[in-house]
Amino acid sequence: SSSSVSTPKEEVNIWCIFTKAAGNASMKYKLLTFTHSLVENANSVMISLHVIVDTSSQRIAQEILQSVKDTLKKDIKISFYDVNQIAKDLKSLVAAMQPHFSSQPGSYYSDSLFFLSLGLHRIAPVSMSRAAMFDIDTKVLTDVGKLFELFESFGNDTLFALAPELSPVYRHVLYLYRSKNPSSKIGDPIATGGFPGLNSGVILFALDRLRNSPMYPHLVHAFNVTSLTKKYSFKGHLGDQDFYTLLGFEHPELVSVIPCNWNRQLCTWWSDHGYRDVMPQYAQCEGKVHVWHGNCNTPIPVT
Ligand code: UDP
Ligand code: MN
């Protein structure tokens, strides 16, 4: 700035989950890549990072984050939250989701982490009104302040915003519903005017609205989750994003869709498993990549 008076930068709250990292070099490398790229490019905002951890992963994260601060000579705020405490606090929410959206519905605590985002407004300090959550298998190439500008385009009722799923996974999962309802758009690619579902690698939260919503507790109640999955003959395995996908289709006013560039998924698994012909329609995403998402352990391109 040419001005001698510097105004303090706006603080943005970024959440991520970092558990079971002990002895896992790949998890450590992912957290380093995510946090280094996030902090390096965040020029317009001050980052406050909120990391959900287990005890041994917290020590690992502390070391990685210290090295990021030292290397970039930038300060960030860091807070840690205990994954086991959060899993306890959100026990009934997880119990409502898990039977329908988990690959191993029996393994109760171990995969509750995949549903925690749905209760983030109950975990975050009440003074926090907006937040973003990132998977750690991501790399951020744009100032994250630009992502937070998308809050300004939220509708009056928007609670969450996510980017589209860029694979035909919901075409597959919704096979039965789609064959009985051939005119439905759910599971179709955006390229043909469809709704391919949502990917939870990057999520924006209107936390204050979630806390004040009279409707949301009912939407995540076991009774409603079960009836929603029955309506769509839906049995998923991708955790929170299965619920965001159904919610986004059933109640589009509650979930807005952000540009695919903010969550450019790289997984090509479905291309090799029966969907090679349609994969390009789903994966299509024009324009500058803001966030790479190396989902299903796909390496992120070196730039
Ligand atoms: N995660 C974690 N520990 C694990 C598995 C997952 O902390 O053992 C967190 C991590 O933030 C990760 C997110 O959960 O990015 C979602 O998992 P992943 O990215 O592996 O799923 P994918 O995007 O490949 O579906
Ligand atoms: Mn991921």
For residue 295, how far is its CA from the centre of ligand 2 (angstroms)? Answer: 4
- Dmax (CA) of the chain: 66
Output the CA torsion sign for 272, 291, 90, 85.
positive
For residue 9, how far is its CA from the centre of ligand 2 (angstroms)? Answer: 29
pLDDT digits (tens, 9 = 90+) for 105-136: 666 556 899 999 999 999 999 999 999 999 99
Give mean pLDDT, residues 45-60: 98
Among 102, 98, 112, 162, CA closest to 134: 162
- pTM for the complete prediction? 0.97
For residue 113, how far is its CA from the centre of ligand 2 (angstroms)? Answer: 13
Ligand at minimal distance from the CA of 134 is 1
pLDDT of residue 6: 80
pLDDT of residue 104: 77
pLDDT of residue 103: 85
- If one counts every other C-beta atom within 10 angstroms of the C-beta of residue 81, the result is 16
Which residue's CA is the nearest one to ligand 1's atom 16? 135
For residue 291, how far is its CA from the centre of ligand 2 (angstroms)? Answer: 11
**Is 136's C-beta closer than 6 angstroms to any atom of ligand 1?**
yes
Among 239, 229, 236, CA closest to 119: 239
259 three-class SS: coil
